[in-house]
């Protein structure tokens, strides 16, 4: 299936490391959700690998390479390294083999579908107008705002004294289910806390494309906090949140 028309050129830019940080994050988030664009990105990377193989790629004479290297703006040391999201790496070997054999590519399994959804949702929320449905620093407004919109009551402690001021809340969708998203701040960073009913599971953490994810269970609910702050700061958030959470 063809890639999305509005993403076609951006996929090439992502592969070549030509996008700025904001567009890189947006394209990576789109690719995690779109099978067609994921296949196209893997196909492009496979073609690049094929073109670099011995006997396929023509190497210019050493004198030309020396002249190019002497140009500051074209020096290999100044060129940006190709940046691909970590979740794509497992599929690259298979993509290259499929291209060589001229067979259909089967996308590789992602390392964690839930983590990818959480990070994608976090990135989407950073776009203008997407962060909150109710914007306030008052927990007594945010907590009752969820009443009637979801069938559970997430705790909404105020953590400004701990360095995580409340920003607001919204509804979001994870794994096809409506979840509560409680938004906090951390200096200039955004911290999204996703909450949904679930059986108790252990604490788990990961780093996905530069975003830290930390999950835990409490009071019949599952919590997943996502941000680009350090994993240690996310752990501090968990500790502070659990200390002040009121499940009444």
- Give the orientation angle of helix 8-15 with respect to helix 35-51, to 10 degrees: 50
Ordered by where they begin, the domains of the chain are 5-101 (no CATH), 113-244 (3.30.200.100)
Which pLDDT belongs to residue 38? 83
Instruction: Find out whether 91 and 98 touch, Cβ atoms under 8 Å.
Output: no
Express as a percent the part of the chain with pLDDT over 70: 76
* Highest mean pLDDT of the ranges 33-42, 122-131, 200-209, 218-227: 218-227
Q: What is the pLDDT of residue 108?
A: 33
Integer Cα distance of 13 and 139 in angstroms: 42
Tokens describing residue 229: 């702050």
pLDDT one-digit tens code per residue, 85-115: 555 555 555 554 544 443 333 333 334 689 8
* Amino acid 23: pLDDT: 75
Q: What is the pLDDT of residues 24-61, one digit of tens each?
A: 777 887 887 788 888 888 888 777 776 665 555 566 77
Q: Which residues contact 110 (CB under 8 A, 6 or more apart)?
A: 32, 87, 116
Report the distance separating Cα 34 and Cα 21, nearest Å. Answer: 20
The CB density around residue 116, as the number of other CB atoms within 10 Å, is 21
| Average pLDDT over every residue of 175-182 | 94
Say if CB 181 and CB 170 are below 8 A apart: yes
Q: How far apart are the first and last CA of the chain?
A: 50
CA distances from 90 to 42, 44, 95, 202 (A): 10, 15, 9, 26
Q: pTM of whole model > 0.85?
A: no
Indicate if the pLDDT at residue 161 is higher than 80: yes
């Amino acid at each position: 299936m063809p890639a999305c028309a509005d993403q076609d050129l951006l996929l090439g830019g992502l592969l070549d490391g030509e996008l700025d940080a904001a567009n890189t994050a947006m394209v990576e988030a789109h690719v995690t959700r779109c099978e067609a664009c994921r296949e196209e990105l893997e196909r492009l990377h496979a073609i690049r690998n094929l073109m670099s193989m011995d006997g396929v790629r023509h190497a210019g004479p050493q004198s030309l390479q020396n002249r190019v290297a002497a140009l500051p703006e074209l020096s290999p040391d100044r060129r940006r390294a190709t940046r691909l999201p970590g979740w794509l790496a497992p599929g690259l070997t298979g993509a290259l083999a499929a291209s060589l054999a001229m067979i259909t590519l089967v996308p590789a399994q992602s390392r964690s579908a839930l983590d990818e959804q959480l990070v994608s949702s976090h990135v989407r929320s950073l776009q203008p107008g997407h962060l909150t449905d109710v914007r306030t620093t008052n927990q007594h407004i945010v907590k009752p705002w969820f009443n009637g919109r979801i069938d559970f009551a997430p705790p909404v402690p105020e953590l400004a004294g701990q360095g995580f001021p409340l920003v607001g809340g919204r509804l979001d969708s994870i794994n096809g289910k409506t979840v509560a998203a409680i938004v906090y701040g951390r200096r200039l960073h955004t911290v999204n806390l996703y909450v949904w009913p679930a059986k108790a599971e252990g604490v788990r953490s990961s780093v996905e494309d530069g975003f830290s994810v930390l999950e835990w269970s409490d009071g019949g609910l599952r919590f997943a906090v996502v941000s680009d702050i350090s994993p240690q700061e996310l752990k501090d958030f968990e500790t502070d949140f659990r200390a002040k959470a009121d499940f009444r």
